[in-house]
Amino acid sequence: MDHPMPSGRRTIVLPTIDHGDVTLPEPSWCAGHTHHDPQSARADLMHAGPTVDCTHLGTTLFSAEIVQSPYAQPGPPHLGGRTPGVSVHPLGKTLTPAGLYSLAARLDSYADQLRDLADRLTAIHAGEGQ
């Protein structure tokens, strides 16, 4: 259930197995908690934004979403945590803005490699280079 806070920000109350009902400030980018499991521990509570999928020929190649786990234990930044990041699947890492730009640059480079392969395959189909 959503509740307005005096500042105009919204909150959400989520049941947990170890701390009972936990009231969380809801970030404006959060897409909701429809998949929340009441058997979750407080440390596992997570805000997640809308998913951005890269799908080709009916197969999802990548999915990404902004995430934040406000009660997460300190750990490696690529595993997510209290600071919002972007969770990328199947990479299985949560990226900072710099990490996300780096991934995008690598995907741009990979797209160029795929275009090169397409050019080579086109030449092969045309009977060249066999």
Q: What is the pLDDT of residue 78?
A: 79
Per-residue pLDDT, 128: 81
Instruction: Map the chain to HEC letters.
Output: CEEECCCCCEEEEEEECCCEEEEEEECCCCCCCCCCCCCCCHHHCCEECCCEEEEECCEEEEEEEEEECCCCCCCCHHHCCCCCEEEEECCCEEECHHHHHHHHHHHHHHHHHHHHHHHHHHHHHCCCCC
Q: What is the pTM of this model?
A: 0.82
Q: Return left, alpha or beta for 52; rule: phi > 0 is left, psi -120 to 50 is alpha, else beta.
A: beta
State the 10-residue block means of pLDDT for the chain, 130 residues long. Answer: 58 97 96 94 96 96 96 84 94 95 97 97 87
Q: What is the pLDDT of residue 55?
A: 96
